[in-house]
Structure 1
Amino acid sequence: MPNPLYFKPLRFESIGLGRDMQTQDLGGSISQYIELIIFTRYGEHRYNPEFGCEIWDMDFELIQSETIWEEKLRQSLLRSIKKFEKRIYDIDIDVHISEINKFYPLRNVSEIKKRVEIVIKGKLNKTGEHYTFTTSLFLSPLSA
């Protein structure tokens, strides 16, 4: 019997109520782990300071070249995913920055934010199936 992949956050109250904890498929588990890599700053993980990615160090940088910034983040993610997420291979990452203009009519204020779209493609080691993960983040302050 294969090891179950538990949905995070873990809900331990289920055990107290006599129910099994919620499980998920392999793709969902990989997606949650990649999100954890993206949202963890280098040095934040007590037992492995190399876990995470560089987006936290780059968040408030003045972006002079979007191409260089995108490539720096792409390389950081690629290194971390190759090192820590061993359930996928043949990994390809696309990072793209765009500007979002949002107008708030009640305050008569226009707000421009930078949005980073991250697309990660690969193949599952177990089956060879294609895997895709997509997320968008807003910079300064970083939010999902």
Structure 2
Amino acid sequence: MSEKFFNKPFRLNAVFSGTGLQAADLGRSISNHIELIIFTRYGEHRFQNSFGCEIWDLDFELIVSESIWEEQFRKSLLKSITDYEFRIYNTSVDIHITEVENIYPLRQITEIKKKVDISVRALIKTTGEKYFFSTALFLSPLST
């Protein structure tokens, strides 16, 4: 059975001009779907309230313990990927928070942001190949 996967974002002007949507390979399609899970808040998907992850609820929380925050987010993301991405199995998720400091000397501002590194490792069901996904997000900037 031949499956077609498409790249995001969809370029609808290509559809209307007759060239069609840009195709993506299986790995890119899985990565696109995991990004969608990360960037979707619980309850945002009209027909599937449990689609998404907890990052949007955790973003504005005061992080008392980074390890507890990382574990809570990791569990949320792992559950969503396991529930909604059926093309991979044996999935593991790693989350790490670091602080990034940006200094703007002209404005005399120092900005400290929390950076969240996300990595997902799994196996692709159809081929048995190893799959790896990595991205980083910045949370609530703190400025002085």
Report the TM range for the smaller structure's normalisation: over 0.9
Q: 2:97 corresponds to which residue?
A: 97
Whole-angstrom distance in 2 between the partners of 1:102 and 1:11: 35
Consecutive aligned runs of 4 or more in structure 1 exceeding 4 Å deviation: none
Aligned partner letter, 1:65? S
Q: 2:21 corresponds to which residue?
A: 21
Q: 2:47 corresponds to which residue?
A: 47
- 1:37 and 2:25 correspond: no
Whole-angstrom distance in 2 between the partners of 1:21 and 1:59: 34
| CA offsets 1:83-121 (integer angstroms, 9 cap, x no match) | 000000010110000000110011011111100000100
Structure with a larger share of its residues in strand: 2
Whole-angstrom distance in 2 between the partners of 1:92 and 1:120: 6
What is the CA distance between 1:15 and its match in structure 2? 2.8
| CA offsets 1:6-58 (integer angstroms, 9 cap, x no match) | 11222222233231321000010000100000000000000000000000000
Secondary structure of the residue aligned to 1:126 is coil
Gaps of 5+ in 1: none
Gaps of 5+ in 2: none
Structure 2 counterparts to residues 108-127 of structure 1, below 5 A: 108-127=108-127
Identical counterparts, % of pairs: 55
Count of residues in Structure 1 that have an aligned counterpart in Structure 2: 141
Secondary structure of the residue aligned to 2:83 is helix
Structure-2-length-normalised TM-score:
0.94
Secondary structure of the residue aligned to 2:15 is helix
Whole-angstrom distance in 2 between the partners of 1:93 and 1:10: 27
Range with greater deviation from structure 2 (1-10 or 103-112)? 1-10
What is the CA distance between 1:66 and its match in structure 2? 0.5
Q: 1:7 corresponds to which residue?
A: 7
Secondary structure of the residue aligned to 1:67 is helix
**Pairwise CA RMSD of aligned residues?**
1.1
Q: 1:87 corresponds to which residue?
A: 87
